[in-house]
Amino acid sequence: MSVSAGARRISGNARVVAASRILDPQAVWMIWQRDLVRFRRQPTRLYGSIVRSVVWLFALGLGLRQSFVPVSGMNYTQFIFPGVISMALIFASLQSAISVIWDREFGFLKEVMVAPIPRSSLLLGKALGGASTATLQGIVVLLFAPLAGVPLTPVSVLEGVALMFLTSIAMTSLGLVIAVRMTDFEGFGSIQNMVVMPMFLLSGAMFPTQGLPVWLTAFLLANPLSYGVSAVRGVLLDYYTRPLLLDVAVLSVFSLAMLSIALWLLEREG
Amino acid sequence: MARLSDPAIAEEPVIQVEELKRTFGAITAVDGVSFEVQAGEIFGFLGPNGAGKTTTIKMLCTLLRPTSGRALIDGHDVVSEAAAVRAGIGIVFQDNTLDEYLTAEQNLRYHAMIYHIPRSEWRDRIQGMLELVDLADRRSDIVRTFSGGMKRRLEIARALLHLPRVLFLDEPTVGLDPQTRHYVWEYLREMRRLQNITIFLTTHYMDEAENADRIAIIDYGQIVALDTPAALKRMVGGDIVTLVTADDQRARAEISDRLGIERVAHVDGHLTFEVADGESFVPRLLASLSVPVRTVSVRCPGLDDVFLRLTGKAIRDEDAGSADRLKSRMREKGRIRR
């Protein structure tokens, strides 16, 4: 037994430096970093995302091309390309956020919950981590741009990635509210059917948003993802139906609102 | 208990709990428990599954708000000063809370980050802890490849990394083999010796409870007895006689009628009772019974006898088959929203 040898090394001061009650950058970074490390060690998550995106892009893009009336010179594959990126973003963001349910009840997050770090930093780290892994998946889809006939410029790539990240922050924050609210894991599958698919299909990712019935337009306006789709499509295809700044503002305000709600719910419980 | 009489240690209790209570809807999980734990003490909560042990530990660790009553850890209130409490405690949960996709060292490093251990001390402390639990040579391995015992040891190392005043252990050795269990306790006692750390553990294993300086026996959310293991065992007078007969009901009646022993428990197909001097009692017992006796044994009382005496039922070592573990997980899932 090396008990004593090991224990003797452990010296130093027992008292932990009291962290800030508002923001604990070290904790944010740790939670963020952990999500990235886990993502690297679970390559199947990335493969699944690639396969899903490619199927949507080429099966639908080519299959429906003939029946699609070109919008400002774009064919259907080009048109849905930003939509398919958004799909990768929403799936990845929600998956990452919802994993919190399991993680805090039986996993590592329980360790974080008893650590002396503010809940706000936990949520912020998780939002950044989830958004980063989602954006990475979006970037991989972006690599298919030449195959989809979407020309990329350094500027459109930079702007596109930034907007993908913002969209992912919004989606992860929404996912965190759901995760904090959720009472059991049985709801896990229904999130896919009740949140992810409707939000994706009613986001304008797969069809132009002009000349739709009023109720559908209302859905689109209420759906945060549609602002992400519109923004990413804007910079990648140079096709704007409304000011980019409006999309950015809505996504930012929505993210802040969701994170605040998640924080309020998390602090209230127990 | 010699430690407690030492004037240097007999200061304010590290854990002070007053009338702590927690209800879930109509169910009262913890029903007004009060106790104090001194610095450097190993204090055990012993009781069957569902007795309120985990609920108590969750309240003491700031994960669950008490319905009423109050608890202080190192002088800090678990509700109003949760952050201060968290900084001074380490916890090993019943379920593994390591990140299995990270290496052993990464798990410890992340812990060091969120507990704000000075960066200059990381290397030595992590190395020292890994050596303490005999995992230094596996530091760069992914935790998923570890055995249950290794994971548990790593969790203990992690919980101690920030040198907490109090270490909470919720069923620390469930599912571990006896040898690993023995080692785990050796590490814990070593840490107590070096750091005067206070240990609060819950268990439903009698032999594990024997490691504690004092034990609170808990049943239906209430403490039914609180003392040293030796004193608890003295509550059971004399020896324990256990017998299996052809007709337990009749034998029970005869023991009470002919030998004047009223308190005879019928547990798991045998009769159990206490007598002052077991060895000389057995011949009398056999002579008095008309029922055929299959086996008879006499032994010194253990904690399970204390439990039986106090609650009228046996505490079972529900040694978690995987199906049981799964079921209890499912049960917990059902009430995640506390």
**DSSP characters over A111-165:** HHHTSSS-HHHHHHHHHHHHHHHHHHHHHHHHTTHHHHT----HHHHHHHHHHHH
How many Å lie between the alpha carbon of B74 and the closest alpha carbon of chain A? 12
| Alpha carbon separation from B108 to A107, A206, B98, B116, B253 (Å, rounded) | 15, 46, 9, 12, 60
| Closest chain A C-alpha to B227 CA, distance in angstroms | 29
Q: Is the CB of B62 inside 8 Å of chain A's CB atoms?
A: yes
- Looking at the fold, whether B7 and B50 belong to one and the same domain comes out as yes
User: Closest partner residue to B128 among A7, A17, A270, by Cβ?
Assistant: A7
CA atoms within 13 A on the CB side of A264: 6
Are B73 and B194 in the same domain? yes
A152: left (phi over 0), alpha (psi -120 to 50) or beta: beta
Interface of B with A in 269-298 (CB under 8 A): none
B79: contact with A, CB 8 A cutoff: no
- Chain A contact present for B333, CB below 8 A: yes
Q: Are residues B187 and B246 in the same domain?
A: no
- Is there a domain that residue B335 lies in? no
Q: What is the mean pLDDT of residues B258-278?
A: 84
Q: Quick check: B282 and B298 in contact, CB under 8 A?
A: yes
Asked if residue B90 and residue B143 are part of one domain, the reply reads yes
Is residue A20 within 8 angstroms of chain B, CB to CB? Answer: no
Q: Which residue has the tokens 């678990």?
A: B78
Distance CA A150, CA A77 (A): 9
Q: Which residue has the tokens 């573990």?
A: B325
Give a yes or no: residue B287 inside a domain: yes
| A26 touches B: beta carbon within 8 Å | yes
Q: Are B30 and B221 in contact (CB under 8 A)?
A: yes
Residues B74 and B138 in one domain: yes
Is any Cβ of chain A less than 8 angstroms from the Cβ of B71? no
Looking at the structure, do residues B202 and B89 belong to the same domain, yes or no? yes
Contact state of A16 with B114 under an 8 Å Cβ cutoff: no
Suggest the residue from A108, A120, A266 to mutate for an interface test with chain B (most B CBs closer than 10 A).
A108
Average pLDDT over residues B156-161: 93
Rounded-to-10 torsion of CA B255, B260, B263, B266: 0
Those residues whose C-beta lies under 8 Å from the C-beta of residue B113, and which sit 6 or more positions away, are A26, A27, A29, A30
Residues of B in contact with A110 (CB under 8 A): 63, 93, 95, 97
Tokens linked to A229: 């789709």
Q: Is residue B316 part of a domain?
A: no
Closest CA to A148 of A233, A47, A240: A233
The mean pLDDT value of chain A amounts to 87
Q: Which B residues in the span 137-156 are in contact with A, Cβ-Cβ below 8 Å?
A: 142
CATH assignment at residue B296:
3.30.70
Residue the block writes with tokens 């096709």: A239
Inter-chain touch B333–A2, beta carbons under 8 Å: no
The distance of A2 to chain B (nearest Cα, Å) reads 6
Residues of A in contact with B190 (CB under 8 A): 3-4, 7
B152-162: average pLDDT: 93
Category of B70 on φ-ψ map: left (φ > 0), alpha (ψ -120 to 50) or beta: beta
Q: Does B323 touch chain A (CB under 8 A)?
A: no
Q: What pLDDT does residue B265 have?
A: 84
pLDDT of residue A1: 41
**Model confidence at A21, in pLDDT bands (50, 70, 90)?**
low
Total residue count of chain B as it appears in this document: 338
| pLDDT at B291 > cutoff 80 | yes
Tell me which of B211, B229, B247 is where a domain ends.
B229
Judging contacts by C-beta atoms under 8 Å, the chain B residues touching residue A11 are 124
CA distance A80 to A84: 6
Shared domain for B198 and B252, answered yes or no, is no
Write the pLDDT tens digit of every residue in A247-268.
999 999 999 999 999 999 988 8
Q: Do A14 and B334 touch (CB under 8 A)?
A: no
Same domain, B257 and B215: no
Is residue B118 situated within a structural domain? yes
Nearest C-alpha of chain A: how many angstroms from B123?
10
Domain boundary among B200, B229, B258: B229
Is B97 close to A12, i.e. CB distance below 8 A?
no
Q: What is the pLDDT of residues B94-117, one digit of tens each?
A: 888 999 999 999 999 999 999 999
Residue B323 placed within a domain: no
| Residue A146 CB neighbour total at 10 angstroms | 9
Q: Are B93 and A110 an interchain contact pair (Cβ–Cβ within 8 Å)?
A: yes
Examine the domain organization and report whether B223 and B261 are in the same domain. no
Among B198, B229, B260, the domain boundary falls at: B229
B252 touches chain A (CB under 8 A): no
B150 located within any domain: yes
DSSP for residue A107? S
Q: What is the CATH number of the domain that holds B88?
A: 3.40.50.300
**Residues of chain B found within 8 Å of residue A4, distances taken between Cβ atoms:** 190
**Range name among A126-135, B8-17, B66-75, B168-177 with the lowest pLDDT average:** B8-17
* Contact call for B63 and A270, based on CB within 8 A: yes
Banded pLDDT at B329 (limits 50, 70, 90): very low
Contact A114 B86 (CB under 8 A): yes
| Domain assignment of residue B169, yes or no | yes
Interface size, chain A vs chain B, as Cβ–Cβ contacts under 8 Å? 152
Range of the structural domain that residue B263 is part of: 237-300
pLDDT in tens, B10-51: 578 999 999 999 999 889 999 999 999 999 999 999 988 888
Q: Does the predicted TM-score (pTM) go above 0.90?
A: no
Q: pLDDT tens across B195-219, in order? A: 889 999 998 888 888 889 999 999 9
Please identify which residue in the block is written with the tokens 């023991």.
B255
At CB < 8 A and 24+ separation, what contacts does B247-253 make? B247/B291, B250/B290, B250/B291, B251/B289, B251/B291, B251/B293
pLDDT, residue B259, reads 86
CA–CA separation, B299 and B201 (whole Å):
27
Q: Given CB atoms, is B86 within the 8 Å cutoff of chain A?
A: yes
d(CA B43, CA B1): 11
Run of H or E residues at B260: none
A110–chain B Cβ distance below 8 A for any pair = yes
- SS3 state of residue B158: helix
Question: Based on the domain organization, do B27 and B138 belong to the same domain?
Answer: yes
Band of pLDDT at residue A146, cut at 50, 70 and 90 = very high
The pairing of beta strand B15-24 with beta strand B27-37:
antiparallel
Number of domains in chain B: 2
φ/ψ region of A47 (left if φ > 0, alpha if ψ in -120 to 50, else beta) reads alpha
Whole-number percent of chain B with pLDDT over 90: 45
Window 117-176 of A, Cβ < 8 Å to B: 117-118
| Residue B311 included in any domain | no
- Same domain flag for B192 and B270: no
Domain identity same for B38 and B176: yes
> CA–CA separation, A224 vs A219, rounded Å?
10
Kindly give, in sequence order, each residue whose CB lies less than 8 Å from that of residue B300, ignoring residues fewer than 6 positions away: B233, B239, B240
